[in-house]
Amino acid sequence: MNGLTDTVTLITGAGSGIGRATAKRFAREGAAVVVADIDSDAGETTVTQVEAAGGTATFVKVDVATPAESKAAVETAVDTYGGLDFAVNNAATGTTPVPTPQITETDWDRTTAVNQKGVWAGLKHEIPALLESGGGAIVNVSSVAGIRGSPGRSPYSASKHGVIGLTRTAALEFADDGVRVNAVCPTIVDTPALQTMTEEERAGLIEDVPMGRPAAPEEIANAIVWLCSNEASFITGHTLPIDGGSGVQ
């Protein structure tokens, strides 16, 4: 894809699901990939899969809720590959669905720290590195829960709404500096988290998708990589739903 060969990409939450699929797609397009994840075994597996396919990757352990670790991930990209061209802030967490009054402060704080503060910390350290490289692009992974209500998941929905606010603000701040910032909003995706649900729970989620199935991680990765490519060179501050038609019901 145009503009990705011999570039460097940092992806958080790259140990599985959307993050792993995105790492593999960037590598296939010729980018070196920094695989960041809190799970070392999962992250190293992604690196192995990238390298087995002929790509270049390195792993760094990161808890995005700790800004110093986000900074260290960016430094790893710069020290290992000489700079940073793209970043994908994908790492996220959630809670067991319960009504808003039943959410614990602990669950609220952890979800917000990872999903919202973690994206802010990524932007804080990624943007200066992109500016130093002469520009680039960032994609933040929000959710359809970030553009509409999500009963039972108030911390998750609130944090994902926050990701969109961060995306739009950063996009405006750096639009004239060669740094584009966009967000994707996936619906239910066929990730390991989906497989842990009961068949009844999965069916209930898929019922809301007009296309009648979850998205494949690769389908989200395709959109992320496209937004970073030169083919999307005049797109910034955009929120792209990837929802199988659910947003137009």
With 0-12 / 13-18 / 19 or more C-beta atoms within 10 angstroms meaning exposed / middle / buried, residue 15 is: buried
Instruction: State the CB neighbour count (10 A cutoff) for residue 210.
Output: 11
Q: Nearest to residue 184, comparing CAs of 155, 145, 150, 129? A: 145
Distances (CA, A) of 225 to 7, 139, 158, 183: 12, 9, 26, 12
CB atoms within 10 A of CB 248: 7
Q: State residue 3 phi and psi, 5-degree precision.
A: 90, 10
- Scan for tokens 């200066």, then name that residue: 128
Residues catalogued as catalytic: 156
